[in-house]
Amino acid sequence: MSAKLPVALAAAALLTALHLGAQQPAAQQPAAQPIQSMPYSPSLDVTNLDRSVDPCVDFYKFSCGGWQKNNPIPADQSGWSVYAKLGNENAQFLWGILETDAKAKDRTPVQQKVGDYFAACMNTTAIDALGDKPVQPELARIETLKTRPELIAAISHLHHDYAGNYFFGSGTDQDAVDSSVMIVEVEAGGLGLPDRDYYLKDDAKSVTLRQQYVAYVQQLLTMSGEPADRAKSDADVILRIETALAKASLTRVERRDPHNTYHMMTVGELGKIAPAFDWPNYFEIQGAPGVAKLNVSQPEFMKAVQAELTTEPVEALRAYLRFHFLNAAAPLLAHPFEQAYFDFYSKTLRGVPAMPPRWKTCTRAVDRNLGEALGQEFVKRTFSADTKAKTQQMTEQIETAMQHEIENLDWMSPETKQEALRKLHMIRNKIGYPDQWRDYTALDVKPDDYFGNARRAGRFEDAREWHKLGKPVDLNEWGMTPPTVNAYFNPQMNDINFPAGVLQPPLYDPKIDDAPNYGNTGATIGHELTHAFDDEGRQFDAKGNLRDWWTPADAKGFEDRINCVRDQYAQFIVVDDIHINSKLTSGEDVADLGGTLLAYIAWKKQTAGQQLANVEGFTPDQRFWVGMAQWACENERPENLRVSAVTNPHSPGSARINGVVSNLPEFQRAFSCKAGQPMVHAPTCKVW
């Protein structure tokens, strides 16, 4: 479908590793089974440590070396982490729910939809028997496109009817300068590789990867019935088209500045940039007739789309549409298509040796397309009122700490402080799950039609997004499902969001003392709060509007301090000789640094006057810092690290921990670190 990601995901600065989601135990372990209750594990596990490492030399290795040794990457994963393991436990729990809901006779409407979606996905015998029959009618229609006007008109219908990456994307979003209004946005798209840089770099690995991509495109086209020689030439022209689009795309660093992606214009003005389209007709087909103004996020990109649509041979454009339609559909089709898709996007790109078990694929599919229906089943079994109350209290304490920090900044003027405090006090805290659940009544889910269910779910979500035009912004909407092991801040909503899935042991454990809980979950809360004041978030005001509320001197003071962080993190190596792109990661790095300090301040206030004992050989302060570090324990495949170096705004886990603690005297005092040791960075970087 053409509609963009939900606004909260599109705009948010997300917390943690992007390979979360359901996971599988390592291959040598017994096969996974559904679980009916959430497992318990301690939040601070001393077996995760490597005591042979000096914490003042490498605190990440000290805190996580044991975990890394004891947690090899499972065969179906690009990486493995504490977050991923919790994601695995959540997924197995959801699997148990879905197995029950798929077979039960007396079901609620919610249980029917999630159960039937899961059952249809699990029926691989029926899916394999269909082969590529579900896509043949549309492939045949694409093949009939003989003229340029026919082909351009078909793009409008593909955007409405099917998932796929057809030249560009469109959808709804909050207006950046008036967050109370929902507007139409047209954005860049059209690529089959993860980022523009994959098309433009000329190093040996990039050249080889492009050759492998062309081979995959050829393979998929051949599987759909194209003769091998035609598939080869089509694959070459598809790469040519995508390369032209890549050259016109903004870099990820450029997109971090919201001003670079905000260009309001009339539909008529868009028509002058890309006159090949009948734009009023296009938006009417999408379900938004009468659109007058919209945001064109990358005008230069749309000029490139115009050039490609008017200069490429019709047969080249037809091949491009055929491939992108097939590429989006491949994971939903018979096993050979699913395997081909996996082999390139997971095995080749990210180094993953084996496909996930089917239960995991299907659990993810239900969570992706019926997330708030499945979320109802999850939270009523896992998320207590006590946990919600305690995390709400922790959040408020951390916000109080942020207020104190802002009030006492020596580099910010009273005028800017007043605006910063106004924004802080208007941040909305969303914890666990939505106040009102999404209504899926209009979505038809059948127990024997997996491809159809996926298509109908996509159209349902598209229609829901387009229906927002002209309506008040729903401030209660979430951009993540309740079982998700992650969190985010949305600058246009001005809210921080913590799904129930991330508030489970070992990340948050109400049964243990406050030190590791504040170090772990508290630092996560502080991280998301600090995103409101990172290099991107600081450009939005208390109402979520893109507005410059900084004096020039204060803006310079911020940039001077964030540049200290950028200079430090640029020295960290991701993999091989590839360094962190600190201009891409600086928002997350600043959020890690500021959020951890806020959590420490809140913890100290929470425990003031208490006589805290040493536990497991650690002082209370040391337990805070080890708890803070152990959320980030991870192992990553080198292939995945190479992808992350280009696409991921988060630094690797080791940098996220060592980069933070090396700037915090509070940590250095706890472990008696001395000047000149690696965990004492000079100069000290501090923004918030």
pLDDT at 517 over 80: yes
pLDDT band with cut points at 50, 70 and 90 for residue 24: very low
Q: How confident is the model at residue 470, as a pLDDT?
A: 87
Q: Is the same domain home to 224 and 288? A: yes
Tell me, yes or no, whether 465 lies in a domain: no
Q: Is the same domain home to 304 and 265? A: yes
Q: How confident is the model at residue 15, as a pLDDT?
A: 30
- Average pLDDT over the chain, rounded to whole? 93
Q: Is the same domain home to 78 and 210? A: no
Q: Is the same domain home to 345 and 415? A: no
Tell me, yes or no, whether 4 lies in a domain: no
Tell me, yes or no, whether 444 lies in a domain: no
Tell me, yes or no, whether 365 lies in a domain: no
> What's the structural domain count of the chain?
2
Q: Is the same domain home to 293 and 420? A: no
pLDDT band with cut points at 50, 70 and 90 for residue 39: low
Q: What is d(CA 476, CA 496) in angstroms, rounded to the nearest whole number?
A: 11
Q: What is d(CA 217, CA 655) in angstroms, rounded to the nearest whole number?
A: 36
For 242-295, the DSSP string reads: HHHHHHTSPPHHHHTSGGGG--EEEHHHHHHH-TTS-HHHHHHHHT-TT--EEE
Q: Is the same domain home to 254 and 392? A: no
Query: Which residues span the domain enclosing 285?
Result: 132-355
**CA 501 → CA 346, 452, 493, distances in Å?**
25, 29, 21
Single pTM value for the model = 0.92
CATH number at residue 431: 3.40.390.10
149 in the Ramachandran plot: left (φ > 0), alpha (ψ -120 to 50) or beta? Answer: alpha
Q: Is the same domain home to 336 and 393? A: no
Report pLDDT digits (tens) over 246-274: 999 999 999 999 999 999 999 999 999 99
Q: Is the same domain home to 340 and 395? A: no
pLDDT band with cut points at 50, 70 and 90 for residue 510: confident
CA-angle at 82, arms to 380 and 618, nearest 5°? 105
Q: How confident is the model at residue 20, as a pLDDT?
A: 31
Q: What is d(CA 221, CA 215) in angstroms, rounded to the nearest whole number?
A: 10
pLDDT at 33 over 90: no
pLDDT at 546 over 50: yes
Instruction: Find out whether 79 and 637 touch, Cβ atoms under 8 Å.
Output: yes
pLDDT at 283 over 60: yes
CATH number at residue 159: 1.10.1380.10
For residues 219-226, give the mean pLDDT.
Answer: 97
Q: Is the same domain home to 508 and 648? A: yes
581 in the Ramachandran plot: left (φ > 0), alpha (ψ -120 to 50) or beta? Answer: beta
Q: Is the same domain home to 148 and 287? A: yes
Higher-pLDDT residue of 46, 397: 397
